[in-house]
Amino acid sequence: MSSRLSTGGKLIDRSLSKEFMFNGRRLKGFEGDTLASALLANDQVMVGRSFKYHRPRGIVASGSEEPNALMETGSGSKLEPNQRATTTKLFDGMRVKSQNHWPTLEFDLGAINSTFSKFFPAGFYYKTFIHPRFAWKYLFEPIIRKAAGLGNAPKEKDCDTYEYFYAHVDLLIIGGGIAGLAAASSAVKSGLKVLIVEQNDYWGGRAIVDEINIENGSGSDWIYQQVKSLSNEKNVNLRLNMMAAGVYDHGYVLLHETLTDGSNKKMELRQRLWRVRAKQTIVATGAIERPLAFAGNDLPGVMLASAVRDYLVNFGVSCGDRTVIVTNNDDAYRTAILMKNAGLEVPCIIDARPSVSESLSKQVQSLGIKILTGKAVSTVTGSKRVEGVAICSHAGSGEVLETVACDCVAMSGGWSPVVHLWSHCGGKLEWDKKNYMFKPDLTSAPLGANGEGMLTVAGTANGFLISRDVLSDGYTKSKEIIKALTGKVPKISMEKAHSGDESEILPVWFMPQGATRKLKSKTWLDFQNDVKVSDVELAAQEGFESVEHTKRYTTLGMATDQGKLSNINGLAVLSNSLNVSIPDVGTTTFRPPFQPISLGAIAGEARHELFKPIRKTSIHNWINANGGVWEPVADWRRPFCFQRNGESIKEAVEREIVNTRTNCGILDASTLGKILVKGPDAARFLDMIYTNVMSNLKVGKCRYGLMCSENGFLSDDGVVARLSDDSYLCHTTSGGSDRIHAHMEEWLQTEWWDWKVYTLNLTEQFSQIAIVGPKARQLIEKMGVDGLDLSPEGLPFMGFSEGFIAGISVRIFRISFSGELSYEIAVPALKAQEFWDLALISGEEFEVMPYGTEALHVMRAEKGFIMIGDETDGTVIPQDLGLDWAISKKKEDFIGKRAQMRSFMKSENRWKLVGLKTIDPSVVLPDGCYAVDGESNSYGHKNMIGRVTSSYFSPTLERSIALALVENGPDRMNEILNFPNLDGSVTKAAICDPVFFDKEGKNQNV
Amino acid sequence: MSDYNNSIETFFYKGEITVELSKPKGMITLKGDLERSNINAGVIKTLELPMPKVRTISRKDGVQISWMAPDELLILVDFKKVEKYIELLEKNLKGEHYLLANVSDARAIFNLKGKGVREVLSKGTPVNMETIKIDDARRSRLGQLPVAFWMVKNTEVELVCFRSVTEFIFNWLKVASAPNSLPRYID
Amino acid sequence: MLVILCPYCGVEAEETELTAGGEAHLERFGPSSSDSEFENYLFMRKNEKGITFERWHHTYGCGKWFHAARCSMTMEIFGTYPAQTSKPPKKLISMIKKKRPEWGEGK
């Protein structure tokens, strides 16, 4: 069994015990434990079920490469699924549940899949669920979704907070092992700004466990000293619990910092996503041990040899009383030595190599541990945990020679440098023929903005496996980088690590060499996704020769551990099946993030009220307090209507319309875009920007104008006022002000840069308040005007004046979007609420009422006025909307003119604007519905001949009205069109003039 | 009649730094060729301040010129004196091609005070706040929104945003300066 | 994520402060152009693999349009220059030629 030893454990504090619940059982751990070490200390060897076959699975690793031990921690608003037990800190009162089983971890019904595993080969889903088609959606997928999958998504909102932080450094060092620390100490004196980060919560990496000697002391002492002296340096920043998730162009690196362990029940800042811009980066991320592939290697109790060592040294946890070591290299011997020295049994070391000679093996033998050379594991025995190993010759097919009882198998297939970060932004790999691993090809580094390398790799990550070389490479790489950054070669005292030579590794990708198909189908490559040696071989046999195809077909390396343990073994099996070398098979692409990061960290602060900016006008709070029903208009909020007690929204809208048309309405039109265009060439410029002529507009007058894109399509509209000879105020739509201002600037800066024009977006300087209706003039006069003549002659339709109303400085435009007598009054935004309040007081006797956007929309539709975004969709030209009168024929050029000359823009068959009246006046056509002509095209689709663009019930006309684009519409007056509805019924409507109300304009010309 | 200028909502928060919406200031945008000697001279004469260098401000006695772009300045004066300054500028820039506009109502200014001000802003702007010195000005973004800011003291920044997003920016700053939320990365 | 120097305000702007504007130095064709000239102007782009001249807008910054010479393969930025020009500066061209002798301008 696995247990806590009475002594030892470098990272734990035995004086602080921690209680936690695992699947309802109360267990104990210590301060400093990870969840994994605490579970092992309590003999909880089985921790989950596999993805596909629901096989019992145990902890394999001790770090971020762990494929099996994914847990659900916390509850409610603190629930976090898929937490890796090996990297999750234990805290007092922690509640943990294992995942992917039903009903319990020990008895899982899904495990029946394992019994039938030969019916679930690679590509099973592709092969099986293709017919009948409908069954996938209704039968197979729901069942598979239920059976597969990891943790449950939290049901409550995450109560914690997350944030970003932008940092700029000269040198970023990723990895706080000896290579990283050596690099950081070298950089101290250079004066460079250095950030060194480590994903664990302690410095030193593997050197803490594998006691090494540096100079005359222990590795642990050296690490302690380095960290201590670095902490005192102003230009160096050291950060633990910070995982480098990804490397991107131009030295951009994403770092994920875990700030708290989740033990706090209240809201807290949980994680921080660092967006670092580094001039240079040194990746010193070490290596990950590779599992060996043998039958039964997925049984709980089969672990990486280095992990067994980690649990023993760092946490004082024995992973088994009797541990059999299986290896193809010297490193696993260290595990044997440490276990034996801790008083535990190591019955034997099974070494696939024919012979071993170096110092480690001698040490092992002196401890009385048997070394079985040239041997392999035929199979691991046991059902829910290891009970023994059956040993065979590595050269054979798996015939059992002897069986050794044990409760833990520590395996080592060699090491793979962590090259992920090197590869993220284009670093290439090369095959190391001596150590049988991929390592960075330093001649093809990821390039920065200047075309020079921006990232290098040092230490074990660079393929050095012996501490002596690892430390020295840390110094060397740092030296090169400092020279690249400062131009000077730094003086560095390079300290030395001492280590003996090791004997060579034997490449073993599965064992024994001639394993039978039966053994291979119980030999796991990818633990999380249940991919076996037999699956990869089957894929190769079925023609999946590319590693990228094999990956997708078998799902090898596609689990949440991203194949950290499985990739190399899988590649090797594929290369073996295809009979080509491993480097010729190639690797799959490494992509960020290195480790999964939470959606909370990705969202950062952009949640709740910070999710999306909301723009508010000066009248916003008043509207909010007076029944305003909000709707989003671009980033603005505008009131759809003002709802009164007991009134439905429809009733409110109709009341507002009727009142505006009979008395007086007031509208907050502040969101309207207002762009000031000024300069000697302003008139010439606007003649290019607008389809109509603006240069002949008289000072003091307004003109409605249209803007098109260079592709000819209608882009925005609005009223232009000429303020003076050389200045214009251009009104845009509410959603269009930023876009149109940018459009003007783009043309000015990049095409007509010699024209003397300046533009400024003044949208927010002025609030625009529209006073509309037959009594509008009386209302304003009541407010008290100074310097203004509001008489029809003094301020005619499409004119504007400047003066004072109620003592407030205003610019008053006589323009109308409703067909009524209407004034739009621009007041400084900070005065807008005051003006609004005064208008309401003065307006009481004229029965003034505020109205919202829906009333505005209905009134403009009654008048047949188009709305950008309703009647236009980026494919509509002004000519389609009967706006030919606003397109100058005299002007030689304007933006969009050439495009509108193209044959299809002039086609007779274009869909053009018409009005529609439903035969049944109470029926309102659905927005966006289509008219059909009863014929079908060659695909059997019904021919569509038009579409509704705006549709309302008009209280003015007491009937439904609609605007539509209909093929050749204006020539089809009074024709009745059919609009099919979703329920199969058809609504009939007659084509009519798009101006439904007061065509002659007598309401506005008063 | 009540003074509506004083009834602007108050926005105040004290966390790692103090965040406060300033009382309305007079703000004038000037666009023109700043390289032209007449424009340069007209500005200097009117405001009695040196022309700020690229990405800096120059200020004295409540009057400030902020460099916004190669052809754009933001001039800050007393709220009540805006019209007077615009008149004066128009007089002193006569004959030149320029654009002048009162933008006092279009923008809001936040005053941010405290040791952690650089770190708070670093949560939302890609600007390297460690390199921003007193009198430096920058236009960038804060989270999802455009802002401009300048360093008044080593522990004090003035931040300008559009008036319509005052509340959003305030909420953003509040979250970013929550107690104990600074990474303690910039000294 | 790119960092590009704005030649107007001297800021090393991050990509999130910028807006990409596509190929630079397009010649505008107006009402007197033929259909094919207009089509080329409006729709046809070189989309070079390698050195490309492109437009960038310093949106969250000084608001100016500028041009950058960039390698679309390696993301190397050779230089930036104001947008008020119809072709890249000679100095920049010769610098690129020196760094990439195999590159032929305007092919």
ipTM entry: 0.98
Task: Yes or no: say if B25 and B105 are a contact pair by the CB < 8 Å rule.
Answer: no
Work out whether strand A236-239 and strand A194-197 pair parallel, antiparallel, or are unpaired. parallel
Cα gap C44→A756, rounded to integer Å: 31
DSSP helix/strand/coil, A84: strand
- The CATH superfamily holding the domain A620-671+765-859 is Probable tRNA modification gtpase trme; domain 1 (3.30.1360.120)
Task: Yes or no: say if A678 and B99 are a contact pair by the CB < 8 Å rule.
Answer: yes
Interchain proximity B69–C60, CB inside 8 Å: no
Residue A907, min C-alpha distance to chain C (Å):
16
Work out whether strand A959-967 and strand A911-918 pair parallel, antiparallel, or are unpaired. antiparallel
Chains near A with 3+ CB pairs less than 8 A apart are: B, C
Q: Residue A785 half-sphere exposure, CB side, CA atoms within 13 Å?
A: 20
Task: Yes or no: say if A288 and A418 are a contact pair by the CB < 8 Å rule.
Answer: yes
Per CATH, the architecture of A673-761 is what? 2-Layer Sandwich (3.30)
Return the sign of the alpha-carbon dihedral for residues A425, A428, A434, A437: positive
- Specify the pLDDT at position B8: 57
Distance, first Cα to last Cα, chain B? 49
A138, A139, A145 from A132: Cα distances, Å: 11, 10, 18
Task: Yes or no: say if B73 and B124 are a contact pair by the CB < 8 Å rule.
Answer: no
Of the candidates A399, A615, A402, the residue with the CA atom closest to the CA atom of residue A518: A399
Q: Does residue C9 lie in a domain region?
A: yes
Cα torsion at A462, A465, A471, A472 (round to 10°)?
Answer: -70
DSSP helix/strand/coil, A537: helix
Query: Is the minimum CB–CB distance between B141 and chain C shorter than 8 Å?
Result: yes
Q: Torsion-angle region of residue A707: left (phi > 0), alpha (psi -120 to 50) or beta?
A: beta
- Specify the pLDDT at position A359: 74
Neighbour count for residue A137 (Cβ, 10 Å) = 9
Task: Yes or no: say if A57 and A298 are a contact pair by the CB < 8 Å rule.
Answer: yes
Cα gap B69→A413, rounded to integer Å: 61
| Chain C nearest-CA residue for A898 | C31
Domain A865-992 falls under CATH 3.30.1360.120: yes
Cα gap A596→A445, rounded to integer Å: 25
Question: Residue range C40-60: average pLDDT?
Answer: 96
Q: Does residue C33 lie in a domain region?
A: yes
A320-413: CATH topology: FAD/NAD(P)-binding domain (3.50.50)
Interchain proximity C62–B140, CB inside 8 Å: no
Cα gap B111→B76, rounded to integer Å: 14
Interchain proximity B126–C62, CB inside 8 Å: no
- Specify the pLDDT at position A619: 97
Interchain proximity C62–B72, CB inside 8 Å: yes
Question: Residue range C89-100: average pLDDT?
Answer: 96
| Chain B nearest-CA residue for A252 | B126
Give me A572's structure tokens.
């090797």
For an interface test with C, the pick among A169, A254, A711, A749 (most C C-beta atoms closer than 10 Å) comes out as A749
Query: Is the minimum CB–CB distance between B181 and chain A shorter than 8 Å?
Result: yes
List pLDDT tens digits, range A884-917.
999 999 999 999 999 999 999 999 899 999 999 9
Cβ-Cβ pairs closer than 8 A, A with B, add up to 129
Chain C residues in contact with B138 by the CB 8 A cut-off are: 11
Of the candidates A307, A299, A388, A295, the residue with the CA atom closest to the CA atom of residue A46: A299
Q: Residue A232 half-sphere exposure, CB side, CA atoms within 13 Å?
A: 6
Give me A678's structure tokens.
């000024």
Q: Does residue C82 lie in a domain region?
A: yes
Cα torsion at B76, B82, B86, B88 (round to 10°)?
Answer: -100
Interchain proximity A746–C21, CB inside 8 Å: yes
Cα gap A103→A109, rounded to integer Å: 7
For an interface test with B, the pick among A621, A734, A760, A838 (most B C-beta atoms closer than 10 Å) comes out as A760
- Specify the pLDDT at position B1: 37
Cα gap C14→B124, rounded to integer Å: 13
Cα gap A569→A411, rounded to integer Å: 14
List pLDDT tens digits, range A231-283.
999 999 999 999 999 999 999 999 999 999 989 888 999 999 999 999 999 99
Phi, psi (rounded to 5 degrees) for A748: -65, -40
The whole domain housing C91 covers 3-99
Q: Residue A520 half-sphere exposure, CB side, CA atoms within 13 Å?
A: 19
A161-287+416-498: CATH topology: FAD/NAD(P)-binding domain (3.50.50)
In this complex, which of A167, A680, A766 lies closest to B97 when CB atoms are compared?
A680
Q: Does residue C62 lie in a domain region?
A: yes
Interchain proximity C9–B72, CB inside 8 Å: no
Query: Could you tell me the domains of chain B?
Result: 4-23+106-176 (3.30.1360.120), 26-102 (3.30.70.1520)
- Specify the pLDDT at position A145: 64
CA A95-A100-A102 angle, 5° bins? 95
Which string of b and e fits A31-69 if b means at least 16 CB within 10 Å? bbbbbbbbbbbbebbbbbbbbbbbbbbbbbbbbbbbbbb
Residues of B numbered 61-120 whose beta carbons fall under 8 angstroms of chain A's beta carbons: which are they?
71, 97-99, 101-107, 119
List the CATH code of the domain at A508-585. Answer: 1.10.10.1100
**Same CATH fold, A620-671+765-859 and A508-585?**
no
| Chain C nearest-CA residue for A278 | C3
Neighbour count for residue A387 (Cβ, 10 Å) = 15
List pLDDT tens digits, range B78-130.
999 999 999 999 999 999 999 999 999 999 999 999 999 999 999 999 999 99
Burial status of residue A874 (CB atoms within 10 A of its CB: 0-12, 13-18, 19 or more):
exposed
Residue C107: pLDDT band with limits 50, 70, 90: very low
Task: Yes or no: say if A271 and A258 are a contact pair by the CB < 8 Å rule.
Answer: yes
Residues of B numbered 31-50 whose beta carbons fall under 8 angstroms of chain C's beta carbons: which are they?
none
Mean pLDDT, all residues of chain B: 95
Q: Does residue C105 lie in a domain region?
A: no
Q: Does residue C79 lie in a domain region?
A: yes
Chain B residues in contact with C16 by the CB 8 A cut-off are: 126, 141
Cα gap A693→B166, rounded to integer Å: 38
Cα gap A166→A168, rounded to integer Å: 7
* DSSP label of C107: -
Give me A651's structure tokens.
């009733």
DSSP helix/strand/coil, A229: helix
Residues of C numbered 50-89 whose beta carbons fall under 8 angstroms of chain A's beta carbons: which are they?
55, 57, 59, 63-65, 71, 74-77, 83-84
- Across chain B, the runs of DSSP E, i.e. the strands, are 12-14, 18-21, 26-32, 57-60, 63-69, 72-77, 98-102, 107-113, 137-142, 145-153, 156-162
Of the candidates A152, A212, A154, the residue with the CA atom closest to the CA atom of residue A182: A212
Each domain of chain A, given as residue ranges in start order, spans 161-287+416-498, 320-413, 508-585, 620-671+765-859, 673-761, 865-992
For an interface test with B, the pick among A248, A264, A830 (most B C-beta atoms closer than 10 Å) comes out as A830
Chain B residues in contact with A765 by the CB 8 A cut-off are: 101-106
Q: Please spell the DSSP secondary structure of A659-703, one letter per residue.
A: HHHHSEEEEE-TTSEEEEEESTTHHHHHHHHBSS--TTPPTTBEE
Positions of chain A with pLDDT lower than 50, given as ranges: none
Q: Torsion-angle region of residue A241: left (phi > 0), alpha (psi -120 to 50) or beta?
A: left
pLDDT tops 50 at residue B2: no
Which string of b and e fits A281-308 if b means at least 16 CB within 10 Å? bbbbbbbbbbbbbbbbbbbbbbbbbbbb
CATH of the domain at C44: 3.30.2270.10
Name the residue type at position A377: V
Interchain proximity B146–C60, CB inside 8 Å: yes
Domain count, chain C: 1
